[in-house]
Each structure stands twice: as C-alpha cells, then as structure tokens.
Structure 1
C-alpha cells in the first residue's frame, strides 16, 4: 500500500511540473514556438523615460496627451528613471514595455537580452557636455580631478571614459557616478571638479553653479549629430502589439511637431513636467540654454551605433563590440513617417 501511495504522489508531482513547464514555455518571448502572434492593441503599455530636457518628446507626449490621443483605449502607465542601466533592468525584468533611453544603454539592453530588445525610433540628438570648474583651461588639467557621470555604463559615462581613453587619461582621472541632482550639489560644494552630463544638468552647472564647458559632445561627432535619446521596445511586445507601438510613435511625432511649432510653450510644458517629476523647475536661462543644445527628431542617427558599440569597448564597459544586426526594427516608425510624407529611416547594418 505504501508503494501505491508513493507512485500516486510521484505521478501527481510530475503532472504539476509538466504543467508549470508548459505555462513557463508559453510565456517566453524566445519560445521555440516561434514569433508571438499579433494580438492587436494592448490593454496597457508601460513607458519609461527620464525627467531630463533630453527626454522632451516623452515629457511633452505625456503632459499634452499626445500619447493618449493615439493610444485610444490602451492604458498608458509611465515610470521615470535617473539613468539608462536601471531602466534596462526594468525592461529585462518585464515591468516596462517601451523606453526612451540613451544610446549606450540601448545597445546594452540589446546585448543583455540576446536580441530581445529592439531600437524603434530616435527622439533627441545632442545635449551632453563636459562642464568643469572655470580654472580648468584644457584637457591636460583634468589629471588628478574628480568628474561625475549619472550612472555606471550610462550614455555619458561611456562618452567620458572613451574621451579620457583617447587622451591617455584613463588612470589619471577619477570618475564618480551619482544622480544628476547630487552632481549639481557636489559641484557647488567643491566636492567634484565637473561632470559629463545631459541637459538640463550641464546647463544648470554652467548657469547656476559657475561651471564652464570644456567639451561639447557635438564637436566629437560628424555634423555635430549623435543620438542622445532613442526609443526601444521589448521585442515580444512589438510582435504582439504592433498597433500599440505604432500609436505610441505617432504620439511621439505629434509631440515633436507640436514642440517645433510652439517652442516657447514647449519649454513651459517641459519645465512643468520637471517640477512635477523632479521637484523643482528650471530658471528661464537654464531652460533656454538646455533647449538650444538639443534637436527633437525621430531620426535615430543609425550610422552612429556601430561606433557607439566600439566606444563601449574603449570605455571598458564591455570586452568586445556587439554585432548589431537585428538591433533595429524601423517598420512601425517608417509606416508613421510615410503617412506624414516624411523620409523613412534606412539602416541595413542594424536591421534584419
């Protein structure tokens, strides 16, 4: 009798394990069953972005309801982050569907997810500078100094480390990662000598704390254009809900078009969003300077990404440059651009 009960127990346990395995397998984006089927519009889309001027399309899209207007019945849930790596973790953990994010973490997300995170649009170009104490007159005087970046392996962290490596200063400059507001406070107190920062923080250090620009990142790129903010998506979400992704991109373009047509009001809207999300608004001087440093544009500047992948190696963030084939899917964006009679995005080196 004891043997009979034991066998029944083992069979029941096996049945449960099999059922769990089936359910788990069905939930995976990389299931052997192949690409997920198009399920139409999602009931909810979870979108991440930063409370920075360099994320103006997202801030305007939310505050002016451009996203909601295009999403219709789909619920929009938003979450803000200080820097890219923590936002990447949210994507990889499945608590976020779409992210406005820096170019460096976008590549990192693609790498960590083994291709399950994809680039779908640009958002903003420009808007990052190395700002320092006014007595630092040239790059050579950075020796022995302490500079900040928003977070380890974020876009500005990679840019600074790559720049220092190119100048032979990797071992001679201390880099401290801290939240942007803390960088501002630390600079004012004299605890750090400067930082490679996104807008509006570069402008805040210059206007409100007396820093000077040592390097404008625009000077390091062809035609002065580099992708500071792009849009990425979980590949499974794109497969299941392409209509929702397209709707969000329509909202992004609507926000960009409105901002270009209403520059003064766009600054006011962004400033209001920053006050709500970060606790304080910017002065007019800081806001004007920050906006003058950026361009709102859905063009992801795709040609820059192979170099950005190499920069992560130079910066010591990764050991080898990732192959970017399959990184981007500009299908939804190009459908939106075509509908507005705008040039489409082509990037054979990034797409499948």
Structure 2
C-alpha cells in the first residue's frame, strides 16, 4: 500500500463516521445548546480568553447553554464535527482543510481567522543543523495537523529522513526531557516550554519559512449544520472571536488566558514561558487566503489531500475587516 493511499485512508475514516447527535440540540428546559471546541494552547488564546472572561457565554445570551470542550489537536476536533458533537471550534488550518475536502465541502466552513504564527522546531542542545536530525525521532502534535504538515514539508525540502512521531503535547514534553526524541515541531506554549523548562534550542522558526513571515495557526470553523440551522449563534461566536482578538492586543487581558490555561493543564506555567509564548503570536482576524492555499498545497504534496483545491472553504457571510494585531517575536 503506498504512502499517499495510507494517509488518505486514515484521514477519511473520520469522515465516514455517522453523525450521531442532533444538529439542533436542546437542554431539558428547552434552551438551545451551542457546543464549542478548542485546544488548551496559547495559539487558541481568543477561545481561552472568551471562555474565562465569560464573553462567549454573554455573547450567546441567557437563552443558550454553552458547552465547551478541549482537545489535544485539530484532527480530533474535526472528528467531533463529523460526528455532530460540535457546532464550532478553533482549529489549525490543515485539519480544517482536511475536513473540508474529506467531506467534499459538506461538513464545515472557515468563518473567521484568529491567530497567526507561534510554532517552532525545538531540538536537543547537541543538534547543530538540520542534517543532525537524519534518522532521529521528531515529534508533532498529531498526524495531519498544522505543525505535522509543516514539519514533514520542511524535512522533505531539506532532504532529511527522520521518524515523525505524532504525540500529545504533554507526552512530547516528557520524552524531550528524557532525551528520547531529538526535537519537536509544536505550537505555543509547548515550544516555549521545551526551550525554558527543558533547555531546548530553536532550530527553525516556522514564520521564517513563509514569504510574508506570517502564517495562520488558528481559525474558527463552523459545522454545515450550525451554519444552516443556527446562523445567528455562529454570527455571535464570530463576533466574540473578534472581541477576543481586540482584547488580546492589550497585554493586560492575557491574565485571563494564563488562568484558564493553568486550569486546563493542571499547573500554572512559569511567567517566562508565557511571556515568550505570547511574544511569538499575532492576533488578527485578517483573512490569510494565500497562506491558506499554501498550507493546502503543502498537505497535498505530502499525500494528506487528494487535491490542493480549497475553493469554497471560506464562508463569505461572516467575512470582516482586520480586527487587531498583536506582537511577534
């Protein structure tokens, strides 16, 4: 079985799973339920800020019950969308593209952009160059997620054969500390945790690989069912995302993100880690269309997608101007 067929088969499995939940769920008191997904990463700061501040719940209003659910990586979010377990979610662009293509455009749309940048290849101190990674183990958060595609694309361009291990981010941190892996291509705050807590060294800053030194890290997607049956609630989530992006341009708002993250991870991260993580991000709802298409092209070249076509993935009803910009490292 060739590699392209194997990868496509793995990614198609979730798309073939039957939808087993109502597309218009209700609480016992008759109120509508809105189910929202996110990742406990600094790259999902708009979600973390919106949940911790209560802004998302307030935006939906008292007649809606908000159910928020955290995931380790984007592919699991897409599986939940396929199973009708989520109405909307923050996710990386590559899982969003995968879900769109595997469902032939029927499962989801991107309704807003949220965060850019914030991913690095961090390696053990003895690794001095890309060639030192040959035949070594390197971690990514999940097969086919945004950092996994970036890592595999970079290795291919460099002509390096390495073993890529899709691992949950906490496991990557543990194995890196034990010296069991040579490096990891991960999003914030995990890359900063590897540098600060485990004395790792940055070998590649992902933004340096992009023509304008900016790439999408987190986008907001909505299920086709939510777009069809509850567009008013999707609109409110899009507006809440924009409010969060504006708020996060002010460093004072990040305390709420840090508090939510501490609860999600079970510990408060060192301030040095958090400061470093935030410094590498750009908070913006600006549509990065060319970068989205490049992400699709890279995934197609690796065999994750049948084509690089993403026509129709952006939902035009919710397109809006740039909301805010944060800082970058």
With the length of structure 1 as denominator, give the TM-score of the two structures: 0.80
Give the aligned partner of residue 163 of structure 2: 174
Give the aligned partner of residue 330 of structure 1: 316
Give the aligned partner of residue 87 of structure 1: 77
User: Does residue 1:295 correspond to 2:282, yes or no?
Assistant: yes
Pairing of 1:184-195 with structure 2 (within 5 A): 184-195=173-184
Cα 1:292/1:342, change in 2 over 3 Å:
closer
Shift of the alpha carbon at 1:28? Answer: 10
Give the aligned partner of residue 259 of structure 2: 272
Output the CA distance in 2 between the equivalents of 1:220 and 1:301.
Answer: 15
Q: 1:222 aligns with which of 199, 211, 215?
A: 211
Pairing of 1:246-265 with structure 2 (within 5 A): 246-261=235-250, 263=251, 265=252
Pairing of 1:1-352 with structure 2 (within 5 A): 43-72=32-61, 73-116=63-106, 117-169=108-160, 172-261=161-250, 263=251, 265-318=252-305, 320-334=306-320, 337=321
Shift of the alpha carbon at 1:299? Answer: 1.9
RMSD of the TM alignment (CA)? 2.0
Shift of the alpha carbon at 1:236? Answer: 2.1
Contact preservation (8 Å) 2:285, 2:323: no
Q: Which structure 2 residue ranges, 5 or more long, are not aligned? A: 1-17, 25-30, 325-329
Output the CA distance in 2 between the equivalents of 1:127 and 1:314.
Answer: 23
Output the CA distance in 2 between the equivalents of 1:193 and 1:266.
Answer: 35
Output the CA distance in 2 between the equivalents of 1:107 and 1:342.
Answer: 23
Contact preservation (8 Å) 1:242, 1:332: no
Output the CA distance in 2 between the equivalents of 1:243 and 1:66.
Answer: 16
Q: Secondary structure in 2 aligned to 1:95?
A: coil
Shift of the alpha carbon at 1:321? Answer: 2.1
Shift of the alpha carbon at 1:342? Answer: 6.2
Output the CA distance in 2 between the equivalents of 1:147 and 1:219.
Answer: 20
Cα 1:89/1:247, change in 2 over 3 Å:
same
Output the CA distance in 2 between the equivalents of 1:254 and 1:48.
Answer: 18
Q: Deviations over 1:43-62 (max 9, x none)?
A: 12110000000000000011
Q: Secondary structure in 2 aligned to 1:306?
A: helix
Q: Deviations over 1:66-114 (max 9, x none)?
A: 1122111222110000001111000000000101000100101101222
Shift of the alpha carbon at 1:167? Answer: 1.2
Bigger radius of gyration among the two? 1
Q: Secondary structure in 1 aligned to 2:36?
A: strand
Q: Which structure 1 residue ranges, 5 or more long, are not aligned? A: 1-23, 30-35, 37-41, 344-352
Q: Secondary structure in 2 aligned to 1:54?
A: helix
Give the aligned partner of residue 3 of structure 1: none
Output the CA distance in 2 between the equivalents of 1:328 and 1:52.
Answer: 24
Output the CA distance in 2 between the equivalents of 1:135 and 1:330.
Answer: 48
Contact preservation (8 Å) 1:123, 1:231: yes
Please identify runs of 4+ aligned residues in structure 1 that moved more than 3 A: none
Q: Secondary structure in 2 aligned to 1:209?
A: coil
**How many residues matched?**
297
Contact preservation (8 Å) 2:105, 2:312: yes
Moved more, 308-317 or 243-252: 308-317
With the length of structure 2 as denominator, give the TM-score of the two structures: 0.86
Output the CA distance in 2 between the equivalents of 1:82 and 1:28.
Answer: 24
Shift of the alpha carbon at 1:300? Answer: 3.5
Output the CA distance in 2 between the equivalents of 1:75 and 1:274.
Answer: 22
